[in-house]
Structure formats: C-alpha cells, structure tokens
Amino acid sequence: MITKEQVLKALKFVQYAGMQKNIVDYGFVKDLEVDENGKVTFRIVFTTNQKQIEEPLKKMILENLADEDITNVEVTMDITLADAPKPPSQEQPKQPQKPQPPGPIDKDPSMIPQVRNTLLVSSAKGGVGKSTVSLNLALALAKKGMKVGLLDSDIYGPSLPIMTGLEGKQPKSDGKQIEPLEKFGIKLMSIGFLVSKDDALIWRGPMVMQAVQQLLKDVNWGDLDYLVIDLPPGTGDTQLTFAQKLNISGAIIVTTPQDVALIDTIRGIDMFNKTNVPIIGLIENMSYFLCPSCGNKDEIFSSQGARKQSKELSIPFLGEIPLNLEVREGGDNGEPVVIGKPDSEISKVFLSCADNVIEALPKDGKASKKGLLSKMKSLLN
C-alpha cells in the first residue's frame, strides 16, 4: 500500500530550473491523499511569472513518482500567473542611459492618517540584525509611554511572527480593514501573519509593492505616536515606495563593524538623502563579544567601524549593541530582550536609542527640520 510519506519522498526530488528548493520544502504540495485503491491525488499551488512552467513541471512530477512505482496519480496544477514579462520589442534597442534618481514624490497622507511619526529602520545589507533592532526599539518606545506600532515589511522573509511568539496567529478582519495583532503593548503586522510559513511567495516587484501598500492602508493602525517600519535589506522598490508614499519622519540605519557592511551602509544613506528622508542616527549591532566568564571584550567583526563612519558622514551615532546570547535567545523564543531582560545593559542601549528618537521626533509629530538638525549635531561626538 502506497503511503503519503512515500509520495512526499519522491516529490522531494522535483526541483524545477530556477528553484532553490524542491516543491515539498517550498510548500507547493497541497491536499495530498491516498485512497483505499492506492490512487494518489494532490494539488500543486503557487504563483509564478513563468507561463511555460506548468506542463514541464507536471511531467517532472509524474516521472519522479513513476520511478518509485507510483503511477495511479491525479495531480492538479493550480498555478497563478503573476505579471508576465512583455515580449521583446522589434524596435532598435536604445542606448543605455545613466540611472536617474527617483521621480516626483506622490505622497498619500490618507494611508495612515492617525500615525503622527513614521520611523524607518533600514540596512542596505542583510544579516546585520535590523529586525531585532526594530522590534526592541519599538518596545523601548512603548516603555517610554508611547503608542507604538511595528510593521515588518519584508515580504519574502518575514521574521516578526517568530520573534514575537505569534507564529500561526492570524489577525481578524471585518472585510474592510485588518486588525493588527497586539503583544507587549504594541500593534504588530507582517505578511507572515497572513500566509502559511511554508508558502513561498514567488512574486515580482509590482505584486510586492501592492502587498506593502495594503499592509499600510488596509490595516487599522489607529492612533499611534510612532509606526516603526522594519525595511527589508537593500535599496529597492520597497524602500522607495515608503519614501514616496509616506511622510517619513526619520530613519535609523543598522550596521555591523566590518567593512563590507559599512560600504552598503553608505549606499543606504545615499538613498535616504536622494529621497529627502532625515537620518536620525546609526546603530552598530554585534559590536563586540563580552565574555561572561572573564569579562574580556573581543571585537570579533572589527573595531568601532560605525562610530568612525558616523563622524565622517556627520550622522549621529546612537549606540553599540554587543553580540550576546540573550538577544538571540529572545528572538528565537518570542521574548525580545527589552521584555525578557529589561534591566540588562543591552536593554539600556535600546532605551537610550528610544530617548534619542523621542527627542528628535516629538510624539506630536511637529519636529522641525531645524530642530532635528540641532539634535543630530548634539549627538555627534
């Protein structure tokens, strides 16, 4: 008798060109059943912009099952096509042009009308702990008595559900607006609350931009002093969407001390300068490791790179966050360090950053550019 486990084992060898994982690990296989006569039925469900994928993928699936003597199979290809690329023009190709800066800004203040301050947390490079900083900074602002929301805007790799212990939880909706989840006294929203953790979102840029905007305007954020937006890595469409659609109050840039991260940081700073987004300051994550036994300070990833760069670029340096087991455990266990270890030195760094944010961006949302520049100057060493 054929079992589901045998079917899934065979399907794990199906990895279509361009896929980094097999169709089982991606979560494409749905509604798998094996009836009493040994007939296997299932659906293949995902979104792609490759119109030609359906038939060759189905053939590959049936061939891999046949190799395991599984031949009584009914597979339904439930594939949604994203925006397909346009056919190449017959006209003569144009000469390549120098990239142009973003066009005119078309702000939409109706998106989040009750949010007084919108704060971006950015890193042009992935893996620097930006999401950890975003969450703990939002919680630190809440500890200062502020009404705070946190938006995880990374469509491809949302981390907020795990870091808050809300994995598998879904927000409620009245058909018009989505109610954000709440925990630790702040409002939370992520694409990870709306789709299964096993579903791979194979979306092109326009679909991602539409999803990002819906996470703003279709969510009932309500009355907030600060909406912290955790940006995905890079300087692409998502970052430009926020810069062009929202009245951004300011941005915080997260980096690590090594040169490769600092080079990308400069690109991120340049992006914000071109889109007229004020930069509140720079945070250096994983600055050093403090041995809990001997107290030795080991600067694993280089020394004070972000502090030096902040001086060179005339950007306030907001603080150093050490490489610490408590931070990692807090993120994995759904209890961020500001909540789980409120009296720790790391929590004090986040609370200090929150003080700087509040001073630079008062909760009434009326900070002047002159006032912000004055605060920035006072923070420079």
Confidence (pLDDT) at 105: 43
Pick the last residue of a domain from 81, 102, 123: 81
If asked whether residues 236 and 341 sit together in one domain, one would say: yes
Instruction: Kindly provide the b/e burial profile for residues 106-121, where b requires at least 16 CB atoms within 10 angstroms of the residue's own CB.
Output: eeeeebbeebbbbbbb
For 70-101, what is each residue's pLDDT tens digit?
999 999 988 887 654 444 444 444 444 444 44
If asked whether residues 120 and 252 sit together in one domain, one would say: yes
- Over the chain, what is the mean pLDDT? 78
Pick the last residue of a domain from 81, 102, 137: 81
Percent of the chain with pLDDT strictly greater than 70: 73
Average of pLDDT values for 42-54?
Answer: 80
Q: Is 43 contained in some domain?
A: yes
Give the range among 108-122, 179-193, 230-244, 336-350 with minimum mean pLDDT. Answer: 230-244
In the structure, what pLDDT confidence band is assigned to residue 198 with cuts at 50, 70 and 90? low
Confidence (pLDDT) at 346: 84
Confidence (pLDDT) at 285: 82
Confidence (pLDDT) at 92: 44
If asked whether residues 16 and 135 sit together in one domain, one would say: no
If asked whether residues 220 and 290 sit together in one domain, one would say: yes
Average of pLDDT values for 45-53?
Answer: 76
If asked whether residues 123 and 269 sit together in one domain, one would say: yes
Give the range among 69-73, 243-247, 377-381 with minimum mean pLDDT. Answer: 377-381
Confidence (pLDDT) at 214: 81
If asked whether residues 254 and 321 sit together in one domain, one would say: yes
Q: Is the pLDDT of residue 368 over 50?
A: no
Pick the last residue of a domain from 62, 81, 100: 81
pTM over 0.75: no
Average of pLDDT values for 140-147?
Answer: 94
For 299-334, what is each residue's pLDDT tens digit?
665 666 667 777 777 788 887 888 877 787 888 888
Percent of the chain with pLDDT strictly greater than 90: 20
If asked whether residues 77 and 150 sit together in one domain, one would say: no
If asked whether residues 256 and 186 sit together in one domain, one would say: yes
Average of pLDDT values for 194-203?
Answer: 60
If asked whether residues 326 and 212 sit together in one domain, one would say: yes
Q: Is 94 contained in some domain?
A: no
Average of pLDDT values for 38-53?
Answer: 83
Q: Which two tokens stand for residue 117?
A: 């301050």
Query: The domain that contains 34 carries what CATH number?
Result: 3.30.300.130
Q: What's the one-letter identity of residue 215?
A: L
If asked whether residues 75 and 119 sit together in one domain, one would say: no
Q: Is the pLDDT of residue 377 over 90?
A: no
Give the range among 163-167, 217-221, 266-270 with minimum mean pLDDT. Answer: 266-270
Query: The domain that contains 142 carries what CATH number?
Result: 3.40.50.300
Q: Is the pLDDT of residue 161 over 80?
A: yes
Average of pLDDT values for 196-201?
Answer: 56
The total number of structural domains in the chain stands at 2
Confidence (pLDDT) at 375: 42
What domain range is 61 assigned to?
A: 4-81
Strand order in the sheet with 73-81: 29-34, 40-48, 73-81
